[in-house]
Amino acid sequence: MTRRTATLAALIAVVCAGCMVGPKYRQPSVPMTPAYKELDGWKVASPSDALPKGPWWTIFGDPDLNALAEQVSGANQNLKIAEARLREARAQVRFNRAALFPTISASAGASSVRESANQPFLSSLARTVPGVGQGSSGDVLLGLDMSYEVDLWGRVRRTVRAAKDEAQATAADLETARLSLQAELVLDYFELRAADAQQALLDATVKAYEKALELTRNRFNGGVAPLSDVAQAQTQLDTTRAQATDVGVARAQFEHAIAILIGKPPADFGLPPRPLDHQPPDIPVGLPSQLLERRPDIAGAERRVAEANEQIGIAKAAYFPTVMLNASVGFEGSSFGNVLNASSLLWSIGASITQTIFDAGRRRATSDAARAAYDATVASYRQTTLSAFQQVEDNLVALRILELEGQQQRRAVESAEQSLQLFTNRYRGGVDNYLSVVIAQTVTLGNQRTEIDILRRRLDASVLLVKALGGGWTLDDLPKQ
């Protein structure tokens, strides 16, 4: 009968351990659209239908950029912070999983006690007769204790699941940080190369203006042109020299930013000048539904929804009793000589059930807070998805319109250069004054600088589009539970 009772009790414990209270997780729906609004007119990449796995920046075909971007993962300190947080989250999973198993502790102790003859409430005989009421005793104890919470309602298992969900979300946060830092480096790199292009343009313009100044001086010395022509040419030259000098400030700051991103002091890093000569690549966009699988920040937001769902179950489990199993075994003797005797063996085993009867609404408040937190994470998940759609649409329209603007600007540059050449020839022939040349020079330089800036903006939009699409990351890269 005793064996049957024990077997039945064990069977009931196993069955009850399979029970879980609280809602079952279902991935929330998000706003979705069958296609991107700004995709009309976009040149779809062919034949590739996906970004490169991992090193997505290779689509720009720049060896210097490739070498720099590869260094971000191993050297950037902000990325190391995110990696440390991932290790912390994984350790938390192991910590919570330990609650699924019994806790066993060992203890050993020895004590000796001598009673006082003057202890209170002692009889008068004990006070007057020597030796009566006095004594000493020794105690030696060796023991093992075990405690185990029977997870009847799934509180422990949900805690483990919540920790696993948080670890996955933290892994997604790491990839989001990695993608952001890589995109920031690529953006800074193109900004630096655009500054190099502006510097090369201004340096060439300074040389052209020096020749124009020489022309006006020769004409003035020959008595053909007034002194005002020389002053105008000198002013134009000095203004352009100042602009060329000013470009160096931005160029140096972008170089410093790149150095920090790859974990180097700015003093130990340098990039030789090279004007911007890239063209925006054709980028595969895919379908809006694929963003849910290609964006690590969306994956992280979804995992935190799952974690919040587990917290609801944990809060609900607090309404049910807690069952604890306790057992101990050991030896207790009056001295080290008899502590290990068979007669010194002791043991105990038992179970306890604890149920909160009144807590002034604490459990209800905890449950309400868990549900509110769940609703907040669902809204955050949906907002993250909407923001992703917006970022893709923004950069699609930017690339499409900037491509057209670049073509128009190229024609404007060609017209301005032709106009400058005509006015210069007319000035040499004495037909026009030098003011017409100055105006043409200003218009030409402005259009040339704008053309470089449009190319920079197109490349920046390409980088931001790749970032908005999740880089080369997919949901399959998320660590499994």
Tens of pLDDT along 189-232?
999 999 999 999 999 999 999 999 999 999 999 988 899 999 99
Mean per-residue pLDDT of the chain: 89
- Structure pTM? 0.86
**126, 168: one domain:** no
Q: Which residues form the domain of 60?
A: 20-101+152-320+361-477
Q: How confident is the model at residue 306 (pLDDT cuts 50, 70, 90)?
A: very high
Find the CATH number of the domain harbouring 350: 2.20.200.10
- Position 8 scores a pLDDT of 47
Report yes or no on 114 lying in a domain. yes
Max CA separation in the chain (angstroms): 142
Q: In this structure, is residue 62 part of a structural domain?
A: yes
243 vs 245: CA distance, rounded Å: 5
117 against 87, higher pLDDT: 87
The backbone torsions φ and ψ at residue 107, rounded to the nearest 5 degrees and listed phi first, read -140, 150
Burial grade of 341 (CB within 10 A; 0-12, 13-18, 19 or more) = exposed
Look at residues 459, 471, 463, 479 and name the one whose alpha carbon lies nearest to residue 52.
471
Q: Angle at which helices 434-468 and 362-428 pack, to 10 degrees?
A: 150
Cα angle 323-316-313, degrees, rounded to a multiple of 5: 100
What does the pLDDT read at residue 119?
64
Once rounded to an integer, what is the mean pLDDT over residues 23-46?
A: 80
Considering only residues 123 and 80, tell me which one the structure prediction assigns the higher pLDDT: 80
Is the peptide bond between 47 and the residue preceding it cis, with omega within 30 degrees of 0?
yes
265 has a pLDDT exceeding 90: yes
Instruction: Indicate whether 272 pLDDT > 60.
Output: yes
At residue 235, the pLDDT reads 96
Residue 9 lies in a domain: no
Helix axes 434-468, 227-261, angle to 10 degrees: 10
Structure confidence by residue, pLDDT tens digits, 93-109: 999 999 999 999 999 88
What lies within 8 Å, CB to CB, of 410 at 6+ separation is 451
For residue 276, what is the domain's CATH number? 1.20.1600.10
Domain edge (last residue) among 334, 354, 374: 354
Q: Could you say which of 310, 332, 354 is where a domain stops?
A: 354
Query: Contact at 8 Å (CB) between 215 and 437?
Result: no
Mean pLDDT of 84-92: 94
Q: CA 76 to CA 56: how far, in whole Å?
A: 18
The answer to whether residues 50 and 272 touch, using CB atoms and an 8 Å cutoff, is no
Same domain? 206 vs 122: no
Distance CA 422, CA 222 (A): 22
Task: Tell me which residue of 305, 297, 321 sits closest to 370, measured CA to CA.
Answer: 305
Angle at 268 between CA 63 and CA 254, to 5 degrees: 60
Model confidence pLDDT, tens digit, residues 189-200: 999 999 999 999
Report pLDDT digits (tens) over 402-414. Answer: 999 999 999 999 9
Please, which pLDDT band fits residue 84 given cuts at 50, 70 and 90? very high
Residues 210 and 119 in one domain: no
pLDDT at 1 exceeding the cut of 90: no
Q: Quick check: 48 pLDDT over 50?
A: no
Same domain, 119 and 192: no
Are 227 and 308 found together in one domain? yes
Q: Are residues 336 and 288 in the same domain?
A: no
Residue 184 counted as domain residue: yes
Q: Is the domain of 294 the same as that of 207?
A: yes
Residue 8, in any domain of the structure: no
